[in-house]
Amino acid sequence: MAIDHAMFDLAEETGAHLWRCYRWSPFCLSFGRHEPAARRYDRDQIAAAGIDCVRRPTGGRAVWHARELTYAVAAPMTAYGSLRSGYRAIHTRLAVALGSLGATATLAADRATPGLGSGPCFAVPVGGEIVVAGRKVVGSAQRRGDTALLQHGSVLLEDDQAPAFALQRSPASDSPVPPPGAGQPEAPLAAMLGRQVGFDEAAAAVARMLQAEGLGALGSQPPNEVLRRAERHYDSYRSATWTWER
Q: How many CA atoms lie within 13 A of 100 on its CB side?
A: 16
**How does strand 18-22 pair with strand 68-76?**
antiparallel
Active site residue 121: yes
Coil, strand, or helix at residue 74?
strand
DSSP 185-220: SB--HHHHHTS---HHHHHHHHHHHHHHTT--BPP-
Q: Which of 99, 74, 127, 87 is nearest to 212 (CA)?
A: 99
Per annotation, catalytic residue among 21, 28, 53, 121: 121
Are 30 and 63 within 8 A, CB to CB?
A: yes
| Length reported for the chain | 246
Q: Which of 210, 204, 218, 203 is nearest to 16 (CA)?
A: 218
Task: Read off φ and ψ for residue 245, nearest 5 degrees.
Answer: -70, -20
Q: Which amino acid is at 195?
A: R
Alpha carbon distances (Å) from 201 to 17, 28, 101, 229, 230: 24, 22, 8, 29, 27
Active site (catalytic) residues: 121
